[in-house]
């Protein structure tokens, strides 16, 4: 998988997302970075799970994961994904349809180094999405990894990195009384972003 040549988000789009995120934080949304990530398998069957946003800029939305997990394998086979943010306390939703590209090794290294040590150990110990015979097996793996790196920095595993979702469609949804909601859609048309209002 290589990086994709796509236009960045426009300043109004990015500002609109950041303003909504700031409102969610101000409203004490328990986890404003939580987002649903939807992927598809080789048969076109969808799969969704909650992830945490770790960065957003004009180039897209960044998250990190085990590359050998179910989602990692699905992304490797099909880079088309969707994201949904729902901030219940502010009645706002953001939907993203886009294409995934890998972050750089430097980005992944920097983020991994910022994680709590326990999370770094877990990235080595967990064979994410694979069958586990019993919890004790996992705990033994954790102990072995802890012992291996005792007194040392924990390096980033080769199977752990990040992805950037580069949007080609972005929609903002604002809840209104009587379900007379407001929807604003941005769609990439060639190299230009086209803004449209939608009926709720």
Q: For strand 160-174 and strand 92-102, is the pairing parallel, antiparallel, or unpaired? A: antiparallel
In the set 141, 179, 183, 185, the catalytic residue is 179
Contact 84, 95 (CB under 8 A): yes
The conformation of residue 67, written as its DSSP 8-state character, comes to T
The token pair that represents 16 in the structure block: 């609109």
Q: What b/e string do you get for 112-140 counting C-beta neighbours within 10 Å, with b at 16 or more?
A: beebeeeebbbbbbbebeeeeeeeeeeee
179 is catalytic: yes
The token pair that represents 79 in the structure block: 């880079």
d(CA 39, CA 172): 21
The token pair that represents 39 in the structure block: 């992927």
Cross-strand bridge partners of residue 144: none
Whose CA is closest to 27, among 89, 91, 88, 86? Answer: 89
- Residues annotated as catalytic are 179
């Amino acid at each position: 998988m290589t990086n994709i040549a796509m236009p960045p988000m426009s300043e109004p789009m990015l500002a609109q997302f950041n303003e909504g995120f700031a409102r969610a934080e101000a409203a004490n949304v328990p986890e404003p970075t939580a987002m649903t990530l939807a992927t598809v398998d080789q048969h076109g069957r969808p799969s969704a799970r909650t992830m945490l946003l770790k960065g957003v800029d004009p180039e897209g939305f960044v998250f990190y994961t085990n590359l050998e997990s179910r989602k990692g394998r699905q992304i490797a086979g099909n880079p088309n994904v969707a994201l949904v943010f729902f901030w219940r306390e502010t009645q706002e939703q953001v939907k993203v349809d886009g294409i995934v590209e890998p972050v750089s090794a430097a980005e992944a290294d920097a983020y991994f180094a910022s994680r709590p040590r326990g999370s770094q150990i877990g990235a080595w110990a967990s064979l994410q999405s694979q069958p586990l015979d019993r919890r004790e097996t996992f705990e033994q793996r954790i102990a072995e990894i802890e012992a291996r790196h005792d007194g040392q920095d924990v390096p980033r595993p080769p199977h752990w990195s990040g992805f950037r979702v580069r949007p080609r469609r972005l929609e903002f949804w604002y809840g209104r009384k009587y379900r007379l909601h407001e929807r604003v859609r941005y769609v990439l048309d060639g190299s230009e972003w086209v803004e449209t209002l939608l009926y709720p």
